[in-house]
């Protein structure tokens, strides 16, 4: 499974407009796509994004400890967040806040590109070492107890957190060159395939990973046109 990037994190939320407003008005992202079912938000459609699926609330954190974003001008972002009524705390090298629907976010300074982007995702699982090994077997790079791809990571913390009936996390999506190759390998290995989706701009295979975490392997079709 030739994974090349952490493409997006998909969430269930009962307040996707509120979350999208925080990300666009305060964090510098923009609305890339909106449908009746979801809103796609990011700095660049070809970089790290958040997909906000409409769902009934309240949502439960489950395994999702935090999503950390890279933002330009962190101090200015903090001022905008506080002016909008969001409480922001210092968490070591990052700022931390709770977005609408209880979504836990972290903010770190972006690189020289100045583009809002994903940095890493923090998950709380019963056995980080076993989860990391399983994710490495599904195409990610093992980095101690964490895993990653290119300059983005999935950080694994120990905790007795499990996905309930109403989780915040929908899935983690990883970019691949050919989703068909992933599907063929998954079937050959007897992996649990949750769905295969052929959309106008993308084709994707969804697998059920360790700790029941849904993983999407998404291929950008030629002429991928989101902005």
The pLDDT of residue 130 is above 90:
yes
Q: Is 186 within a domain?
A: yes
Unique residue bearing structure tokens 């989101």 = 226
Distance in angstroms (rounded) separating the CA atoms of residues 80 and 66: 20
pLDDT given for residue 224 in this prediction: 75
Q: Is 145 within a domain?
A: yes
Confidence of residue 76 (pLDDT cuts 50, 70, 90): very high
List the CATH number of the domain containing 18. Answer: 3.10.180.10
- Domain containing 8 equals 3-220
Q: Is 62 within a domain?
A: yes
Q: Is 58 within a domain?
A: yes
The pLDDT of residue 112 is above 90:
no
- Give the mean model confidence (pLDDT) for residues 32-50: 94
pLDDT given for residue 67 in this prediction: 98
Distance in angstroms (rounded) separating the CA atoms of residues 139 and 10: 19
Q: Is 226 within a domain?
A: no
Distance in angstroms (rounded) separating the CA atoms of residues 1 and 153: 17
Domain count, the chain: 1
- Give the mean model confidence (pLDDT) for residues 36-57: 94
Give 202-221 pLDDT, tens digit per residue: 999 999 999 999 999 999 98
Q: Is 227 within a domain?
A: no
Q: Report the chain's mean pLDDT, rounded to a whole number.
A: 93
pLDDT given for residue 17 in this prediction: 96
Confidence of residue 86 (pLDDT cuts 50, 70, 90): very high
Cβ neighbours for 20, distance < 8 A, ≥ 6 positions apart: 31, 39, 41, 52
Report percent pLDDT > 90 for the chain: 82
Q: Is 68 within a domain?
A: yes
Q: Is 225 within a domain?
A: no
The pLDDT of residue 137 is above 80:
yes
169-176 and 214-220 beta bridge pairing: parallel
């Amino acid at each position: 499974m030739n994974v090349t990037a952490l493409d997006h994190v998909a969430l269930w939320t009962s307040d996707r407009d509120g979350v999208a407003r925080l990300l666009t008005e305060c964090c510098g992202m923009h609305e890339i796509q909106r449908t009746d079912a979801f809103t796609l938000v990011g700095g660049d459609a070809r970089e790290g994004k958040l997909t906000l699926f409409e769902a009934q609330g309240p949502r439960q954190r489950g395994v999702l400890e935090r999503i950390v974003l890279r933002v330009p001008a962190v101090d200015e972002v903090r001022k905008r967040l506080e002016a909008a009524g969001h409480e922001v705390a210092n968490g070591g090298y990052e700022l931390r806040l709770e977005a609408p629907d209880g979504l836990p976010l972290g903010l770190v300074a972006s690189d020289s590109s100045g583009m809002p982007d994903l940095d890493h995702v923090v998950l709380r699982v019963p056995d980080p070492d076993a989860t990391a090994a399983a994710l490495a077997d599904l195409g990610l790079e093992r980095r101690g107890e964490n895993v990653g791809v290119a300059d983005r990571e999935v950080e694994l913390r120990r905790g007795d957190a499990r996905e309930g009936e109403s989780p915040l996390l929908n899935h983690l999506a990883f970019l691949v060159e050919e989703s068909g190759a992933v599907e063929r390998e998954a079937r050959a290995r007897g992996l649990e395939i949750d769905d295969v989706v052929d959309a106008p701009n993308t084709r994707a295979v969804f697998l059920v990973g360790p700790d029941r975490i849904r993983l999407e392997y998404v291929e950008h079709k030629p002429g991928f046109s989101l902005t």
